[in-house]
Amino acid sequence: MATRSALVTGATGFIGGRLVSSLGNQGFSVRACGRRPRPHDLPQDVEYEAVDLAGGDDLAPLYDGVTHVFHLAGASSSNADEAEMERANVQATRNLVRAAPPGQVERFVHMSSTSIYGEEEQLPLPVREDVGPHPSRTYGKAKWRTEQVVQEATRAGLPTVVLRPVSVYGPGNVKLLASAILDVAIEAFAKLRTVPVPAKPIEQRLVHIDDLLAVTLHVAEADEAVGKAFNVVDGLYPSSHDIARILAGHFDLEVELADDPEAGPSHEERQRWHGEMVEQGMKQDIFLTKERFRFMRKTNRNNRVSIDALLATGFHFEHTDLEASIGSTITWYRDHRWIL
């Protein structure tokens, strides 16, 4: 087999860092890049370049010998304003695709988001990839403009694939479901007996990190994927009550359905208990959100998205037992002292 060499942008992030390892396991030689210094946990045989894709850096050397590009770099909604969103997503991607040597790259996989569909305008459900997006938040708008840059590169001959994942969870994640797990861990630490959650259930959508990595590797090889976009979700759609019961059960607590959406410990109480946990050796890797169970409160009229196109390529999801997958994630957090 000919040597395959991958470039991974955004390698210092949660998904990018794990993708680097997965590519190595699949026989790729890997070059990684990010805006921060080389991560300490990056495998020694991986080349690393600290580079600003949106700046004036010469990006041509990044492509030296590269056959596959996995573009994960970009600003997220949690840590960037609108100007940084445009710069780190749209401009960075434009610079990256322009630097691609003609005819060299066999596959360019871009990690987008289902946030491009928006939450305000009702779309046909389940939302297919060919629907006209109506992004309603700054992050979704930036991601959609970035996809349009990728589409231009596709028309110019670059063999691209776009992935649109939902909320990703699993070992090593520090937000979203991870923050909800931390919330329950805090209340268990405080010796509370119940976990109050709003009585109105809200539908959730998730994908395990290992499934997302498997999808990414799959579309990098599947010829029928070229030029297409794919939603990535496990297809289970549990309610906020389902997730709460799974989390509570792993901490020997009971779920209490509360009419008051603000029921439960205050932010100040949670901060105090969190501080006590840190004093007892807990690491502060998981984000402590000001709003309790923030992840499980978000409603989205376009929550359900179609995965028919992805399944038609022969892919299948492995992590469809939420109790087991979330349980193993909690065990990982405990083993690494991210929770007590």
- Residues 143, 229: Cα–Cα separation, whole Å: 13
Domain-located, residue 305: no
Mean residue pLDDT of the chain comes to 95
Residues 42, 223, 4, 27: is their CA dihedral positive or negative?
positive
Report the percent of the chain where pLDDT is more than 90. 88
Buried b (16+ CB within 10 A) or exposed e, 19-39: bbebbeeeebbbbbbbbeebb
Q: How confident is the model at residue 162 (pLDDT cuts 50, 70, 90)?
A: very high
The answer on pLDDT for 51 being more than 90 is: yes
Residues 193 and 158 in one domain: no
Domain-located, residue 225: no
Tell me which of 149, 165, 181 is where a domain ends. Answer: 165
Domain-located, residue 218: no
Domain-located, residue 214: no
Residues 185 and 277 in one domain: yes
Residues 75 and 175 in one domain: no
Q: Indicate the pairing of strand 47-50 with strand 160-165.
A: unpaired
Domain count, the chain: 2
pTM: predicted TM-score of the whole model, two decimal places: 0.96
Residue position matching structure tokens 């607590």: 253
- The pLDDT tens digits of the residues spanning 303-330 come to 999 999 999 999 999 999 999 999 999 9
Per the CB < 8 A criterion, the answer to whether 116 and 143 are in contact is: yes
Q: What is the CATH number of the domain that holds 71?
A: 3.40.50.720
Q: How confident is the model at residue 295 (pLDDT cuts 50, 70, 90)?
A: confident
Residues 181 and 327 in one domain: yes
Residues 161 and 174 in one domain: no
Per the CB < 8 A criterion, the answer to whether 56 and 19 are in contact is: no
Arithmetic mean of pLDDT, 290-299: 89
Q: How confident is the model at residue 57 (pLDDT cuts 50, 70, 90)?
A: confident
- The pLDDT tens digits of the residues spanning 218-232 come to 999 999 999 999 999
Residue position matching structure tokens 């990839």: 129
Arithmetic mean of pLDDT, 157-168: 97
Residues 330 and 200 in one domain: yes
Residue 259: which domain range? 169-205+237-300+320-335
Residues 160 and 189 in one domain: no
- Residues 80, 70: Cα–Cα separation, whole Å: 22
Q: What is the CATH number of the domain that holds 326?
A: 3.90.25
Residues 194 and 253 in one domain: yes
Residues 127 and 190 in one domain: no
Domain-located, residue 221: no
Residues 137 and 190 in one domain: no
Domain-located, residue 212: no
Domain-located, residue 228: no
- Residues 63, 5: Cα–Cα separation, whole Å: 9
* pLDDT at residue 1 in the model: 45
Residues 157 and 189 in one domain: no
Residues 32 and 161 in one domain: yes
